[in-house]
Amino acid sequence: MSELPAEFRDRPPVSAKTLGSIRSRLVARLAPEVLNPFDRTPEREATLKAAIGDILADPELALAATPALVASVEAAVCGLGPLQPLVDDPRVSDILVNAPDAVFAERAGRLEETAVALGSAEALVDIAPRIAALAGRELSVAHPIVDARMPDGSRVNAVIPPVGGPYLAIRKFNRLRLDLAPGGRHGRDWVTEGGMSPEMADFLARMVRAKANILVAGETGAGKTTLLRSLTDLFDPAERVGVVEDTAELALENPDRFNLETIHPHDLATGEAESRLLDVGDLVANALRMRPDRLIVGEIRLPKEAFYTLQALHSGHDGSATTIHASSAEDALFRLELLARQSMRDLTVADLRTYIARVFDLILVLRRLRSGRRVLRQVAALDGIGTDAAYRIVDVFRSVRADGPDAVTWVTTDGWEPSDRLATRMELEA
């Protein structure tokens, strides 16, 4: 169990009325971005602490502006109370509050109970609406569920009675950047972290240069977005990259890129939501008119997304990629086929599978081990369909268990030859 931060083990008493007065003064004095607890830079942090110190020095409050008091007031007024240190901890990716005294955090892929406590259910109910308000959302008895994106890209889901709870789930914006192999510009890489072998990293780099179309699969938290981000780092800087996402998560660094993000009904201030909603499918269709060399679709979840993504990648945008929730290459294709069929009912099973097999060259499957380590467990090549209309899938690399807990090693399929289409792309790149 992780230890409770020092400023909350001996928190100076401050009344709710005093905290309300301090909050009002800060809102009047500082810009909204300075008060955002999810995206606070060192400069904003210093500005905020200085402002709190000035307010606490007011003789009317009769308080001593000690560092401990400033920290606790900051967390209670502008942050998330005792949860704020978890928000600030770069090692924490998820914060899950099941009860005031049951707070869990995921660090380095492992979920653990913390020593953080909120004191009461009322304290949790007080924090949740403040978070919702940051995203312009209301959390109340009339609207007891909120699923919102914070200004920095973090996701927050809050539930209050009478539906249940109160519960709070925070998925912090993933800022992790890994190179495929050592020697890259980010200082960390998949090979050194134990996520893939050097041979796999070299192979993937060659496939990116050859403009193979890639489907990245894995379960929630397996590292799909991180791997997709790593692959895009290898794109030619002269290439124009179009990025379409339901929620902005990739944060690519490619110099020539454009980013399109969906509009959800709760994002619309006026008008009928149904008539103004833009989803991933709509944005993929529009992205094709913006002259991308490569197209990145954050994730395929719905039939319309599957249809437009397949259409886009079949229209000549080689070197594109997307992700899907699945635990194997076979499952990824099955899920993609199931979604696409709802928009392509006129195609036979064989025709639809042929269509899909002509779009994707590789399927990369990720897995999160019990230790929290993310590994690339399968690199599969897709080479059309057979006479029985089954996909021809060949594992170029696959993981096998090794001695020790969560220990894996990778083996290469002897004699694998790329498909004619992929071989042609590789020759053009050579």
Per residue in 53-95, pLDDT (tens digit) is: 888 888 888 787 788 888 878 877 777 878 888 888 888 989 9
Same-domain pairing of 231 and 303: yes
Same-domain pairing of 154 and 205: no
pLDDT in tens, 106-141: 987 788 999 998 878 888 887 888 777 776 677 888
Q: What does DSSP say about strands 294-297 and 214-218: parallel, antiparallel, or unpaired?
A: unpaired
| pLDDT at res. 107 | 86
CA distance 193 to 201: 12
Position 248, amino acid: A
- Per the DSSP assignment, residues forming a β-bridge with 218 are 325
Q: What is the percent of the chain where pLDDT is above 70?
A: 91
**Model confidence at 406, in pLDDT bands (50, 70, 90)?**
confident
Write the CATH number for 292. Answer: 3.40.50.300
| pLDDT at res. 9 | 43
Match 């042929």 to its residue by tokens. Answer: 354
Do the beta carbons of residue 338 and residue 312 sit within 8 Å? no
| pLDDT at res. 2 | 47
pLDDT in tens, 346-401: 899 999 999 999 999 999 999 998 888 899 999 999 998 998 999 999 999 999 88
Do the beta carbons of residue 298 and residue 246 sit within 8 Å? yes
Same-domain pairing of 99 and 227: no
Rounded mean pLDDT of 159-176? 86
Is 188 among the domain residues? Answer: no
Rounded mean pLDDT of 11-32? 76
Write the CATH number for 98. Answer: 3.30.450.380
Do the beta carbons of residue 264 and residue 257 sit within 8 Å? no
Tokens of 402: 């090794």
Rounded mean pLDDT of 284-301? 90
Is 143 among the domain residues? Answer: yes
Please determine, for residue 427, whether its predicted confidence score (pLDDT) is greater than 80.
no
Is 182 among the domain residues? Answer: no
Match 């792309």 to its residue by tokens. Answer: 425
Instruction: Count the neighbouring beta carbons within 10 Å of the beta carbon of residue 411.
Output: 11
pLDDT in tens, 308-347: 899 888 877 889 999 999 999 999 999 999 999 998 888 9
Residue 127 CB contacts under 8 Å (≥ 6 apart), including other chains: 80, 81, 83, 118, 168
Q: Of 98, 96, 100, 120, which is closest to residue 110 (Cα–Cα)?
A: 96
Same-domain pairing of 221 and 152: no
Please determine, for residue 248, whether its predicted confidence score (pLDDT) is greater than 80.
no
Instruction: Count the neighbouring beta carbons within 10 Å of the beta carbon of residue 246.
Output: 19
CA distance 395 to 414: 10
| pLDDT at res. 430 | 60
Rounded mean pLDDT of 89-102? 90
Residue 128 is part of which domain span?
A: 6-171
Average pLDDT, the chain: 84
Decide: pTM greater than 0.85: no
| pLDDT at res. 149 | 74
Same-domain pairing of 18 and 113: yes
Position 64, amino acid: A
| pLDDT at res. 114 | 92
Do the beta carbons of residue 395 and residue 360 sit within 8 Å? no
Is 423 among the domain residues? Answer: yes
| pLDDT at res. 16 | 72
Same-domain pairing of 228 and 83: no
In the chain, the number of structural domains is 2
What totals of helices (H) and strands (E) does the chain contain, helices first?
15, 15
| pLDDT at res. 6 | 45
Please determine, for residue 272, whether its predicted confidence score (pLDDT) is greater than 50.
no
278 torsion bin: left (phi>0), alpha (psi -120 to 50), beta (else)? beta
| pLDDT at res. 3 | 47
| pLDDT at res. 273 | 40
Tokens of 91: 């090692």
156 torsion bin: left (phi>0), alpha (psi -120 to 50), beta (else)? beta
Same-domain pairing of 306 and 420: yes
**Model confidence at 264, in pLDDT bands (50, 70, 90)?**
low
Is 422 among the domain residues? Answer: yes
Instruction: Count the neighbouring beta carbons within 10 Å of the beta carbon of residue 231.
Output: 20
Is 220 among the domain residues? Answer: yes
Same-domain pairing of 359 and 301: yes
Same-domain pairing of 41 and 119: yes
Same-domain pairing of 145 and 293: no
Same-domain pairing of 86 and 224: no
| pLDDT at res. 7 | 43
Residue 364 CB contacts under 8 Å (≥ 6 apart), including other chains: 204, 214, 215, 216, 217, 227, 376, 378, 379, 380
Instruction: Count the neighbouring beta carbons within 10 Å of the beta carbon of residue 382.
Output: 25
Rounded mean pLDDT of 401-418? 82
Domain boundary among 136, 171, 206: 171
| pLDDT at res. 204 | 96
CA distance 323 to 246: 12
Same-domain pairing of 233 and 154: no
Cα-based distances in Å from 272 to 265, 275, 276, 277, 284: 8, 6, 7, 9, 22
